[in-house]
Chain A
Amino acid sequence: GIQVEQSPPDLILQEGANSTLRCNFSDSVNNLQWFHQNPWGQLINLFYIPSGTKQNGRLSATTVATERYSLLYISSSQTTDSGVYFCAVERNSGTYKYIFGTGTRLKVLA
């Protein structure tokens, strides 16, 4: 099956710093999403981004499907950005079988 690898596995930042999280996938995909799981366990959808670039406030994401990777950029990080960031991919359109990576655990220090 398709493999989804995220890097780095752990990241510690000072408040105000910028960061880039990476998601590599081993085969072509039809859909890709980024999620944030906060320290209380709640999962929030950040981006639905099968290709191209999207921005939402301090967060932006880019997916280059032909090269099988996606990047999540966090600018001017805040302590509320702490948690785990997951990317998830759907191999075949219409199957709805999203495969999750193991995540990047981010801690932002005040």
Chain B
Amino acid sequence: NAGVTQTPKFQVLKTGQSMTLQCAQDMNHNSMYWYRQDPGMGLRLIYYSASEGTTDKGEVPNGYNVSRLNKREFSLRLESAAPSQTSVYFCASSEMGGDGYTFGSGTRLTVV
């Protein structure tokens, strides 16, 4: 099925551990995004990639890095996880400008 696929769906990390969240889309979209959602809040943009080969910071980039591996894939890396990074992470993709915005099903990350 067409859409945005995120892996893993759930993850528990210890403080200081590292991990990479994977995201892939098969809609031939140019733009991809990583958001986090904390309880009772809207989504906050971490990083985005307007097109293949480019990445830029969003509202809350500290503690994260990203890689736009190719047009389909956009990964998010936590180098040294902290409890404040406990959240639900969503990947999304869209046409340039935001039309056709499609979200993945999310990754629930807990840092203990």
A interface residues with partner B (beta carbon < 8 Å): 4, 31, 33, 35, 41-45, 48, 86, 88, 90, 93-94, 96-103
* Shortest Cβ gap from A84 to chain B (Å): 9
A102 and B42: CB pair below 8 A?
yes
How many B residues have CB within 8 A of the partner chain? 27
B interface residues with partner A (beta carbon < 8 Å): 31, 33, 35, 40-45, 48, 50, 56, 58-59, 88, 90, 92, 94, 97-103, 105-106
Main secondary structure of the interface of A (DSSP, over half): strand
* Shortest Cβ gap from A100 to chain B (Å): 3
* CB < 8 Å neighbour of B102 from A45, A86, A97: A45
State A96–B54 Cα separation when bound (angstroms). Answer: 12
Known A33-B101, A41-B105, A45-B102; further 12 A-B contacts with Cβ < 8 A: A4-B42, A33-B98, A41-B88, A43-B90, A43-B92, A43-B103, A45-B103, A48-B101, A86-B42, A88-B43, A99-B59, A100-B43
- A6, closest chain B residue (CB): B42
